[in-house]
Amino acid sequence: MRTKLIGKIEFDRARLLEDLERSLDIRYAEPYDEFVCGRPWKSAMLMAPGGAEGGVLSDYDHSEPTDFTADGERLPYVQDLLRTYFNVEHITFARMISLSNSVLIPHCDYVELDGTSKQRIAHRVHVVLSTGEDAMFNESDSVYRMKEGEVWFIDVTRPHSAGVVGDTRRVHLLIDVADVDAVEKLFKFDVELSGGIPDASLCDRPALGDEEREGLLGLSSIIDEENVMQIMALVVKKHYRKDGGPDFVWSTMNEIARRSDDEAIVKWVANLYQHTNIVRSESALAS
Ligand code: YCP
Ligand code: CO
């Protein structure tokens, strides 16, 4: 499913705020740290097969119907939202994601999955519970904002990244749903699918100036294996605010690496790209 806006949910703000407050006490997992430049990407599993604990790639008994986990039980309003607006029988996983002061490396997901898993989590839906001006999303060369209450399909097979370039605690529900013959069956609200990312959601980004570009490329003189993730963070953050042209992040990182004349850095960047965009295997980063 290509990325698109599905519709909008009206929240009961008082109840939402109560759950957001409660969610501060959850012990989040912090997976995918190799994708993260900044503070951790925090994830709490709220629904899973049999209500069992674990991450998306854990070994679940998929014959069990999806149910709320212990963390899911702690958030009564979020539970209500899921039951009221979704046909929960199609949900495989629902997670609460919290992000602040952090950007993710542009990457593709599902690359590690086989055919059966892809059926179970055929579509990725985001529900925006809490966000701000400094919270953005990137897909290919576009940067856009999902607003509070909006429900989106995200095509995670395309290069994408999330970023919160300030202090906002951005909280989304991430819902993985099984393949169905008609997407309307997934939802219990008025679905009005946009064609692609609506223009109104796109961020207006001025073109990156020549001096800024040279400044970034000049990081080649200081890049080393200890600061390469910080340099990645600078490049990704710049991408959220300025339009640097096609494939800005990876072409800039490759050029910084090339100019550094450091074989180890060139390899490091190439391996990171492989791991995050092409094949996901634990050994890809080790070499
Ligand atoms: C996502 N993909 O795009 C996740 C974040 C890395 C893998 C962490 O939401
Ligand atoms: Co992703």
* pLDDT higher than threshold 50 for residue 70: yes
- Round the average pLDDT of the chain to a whole number and report it: 94
Q: What is the pLDDT of residue 116?
A: 84
Q: What is the pLDDT of residue 26?
A: 97
The model's pLDDT over 221-265, given as tens digits with 9 standing for 90+, comes to 999 999 999 999 999 999 999 999 999 999 999 999 999 999 999
User: Relative to the alpha carbon of 126, which ligand is closest?
Assistant: 1
Q: Is the separation of the CB atoms in 119 and 113 below 8 Å?
A: no
Residue 23 vs residues 28, 99, 169, 173, 226: alpha-carbon distances, Å: 9, 13, 12, 12, 34
DSSP state of 87: -
Rg of the chain over CA atoms, in angstroms?
19
* pLDDT higher than threshold 70 for residue 287: no
Please report how many Cα atoms fall inside a 13 Å half-sphere around the Cα of residue 279, on the Cβ side.
7
User: Relative to the alpha carbon of 56, which ligand is closest?
Assistant: 1
* pLDDT higher than threshold 90 for residue 113: no
Q: Which ligand 1 atom is nearest residue 154's CA?
A: 3
The residues with which 171 forms a beta bridge, in sequence order, are: 98, 130
**Helices 263-273 and 228-241: crossing angle, nearest 10°?**
60
Q: How confident is the model at residue 6 (pLDDT cuts 50, 70, 90)?
A: very high
Residue 263 vs residues 16, 243, 266: alpha-carbon distances, Å: 51, 29, 5
CA of 109 to the centre of ligand 1 (A): 7
Q: Locate 135 and state its tokens.
A: 């919270």
Task: Determine the Cα–Cα distance for residues 103 and 236; give it in Å rounded to an integer.
Answer: 7
CA of 158 to the centre of ligand 2 (A): 9
CA of 109 to the centre of ligand 2 (A): 5
CATH number of 4-201: 2.60.120.330
Q: How confident is the model at residue 185 (pLDDT cuts 50, 70, 90)?
A: very high
Domain ranges of the chain: 4-201, 210-286
Task: Name the amino acid, one letter, at 254.
Answer: N
Q: How confident is the model at residue 166 (pLDDT cuts 50, 70, 90)?
A: very high
Report which protein residue has its CA nearest ligand 1's atom 8: 32
Return all residues near 113 (Cβ < 8 A) that are at least 6 apart: 121
Report which protein residue has its CA nearest ligand 1's atom 2: 109
**Residues with beta carbon inside 6 Å of ligand 1?**
32, 35, 41, 104, 109, 156, 160
User: Where does the chain have alpha helices with state H?
Assistant: 13-22, 70-73, 76-85, 115-120, 210-217, 228-241, 248-260, 263-273
The model's pLDDT over 260-286, given as tens digits with 9 standing for 90+, comes to 999 999 999 999 999 999 988 544 443
> What H or E segment, with its residue span, contains residue 277?
none
SS3 135: strand
* pLDDT higher than threshold 80 for residue 23: yes
Q: What is the pLDDT of residue 281?
A: 59
Region 28-50: mean pLDDT is 96
Secondary-structure class of domain 210-286 per CATH: mainly alpha
Query: Among 147, 110, 144, 104, which residue's Cα sits nearest to residue 1?
Result: 110
DSSP state of 18: H
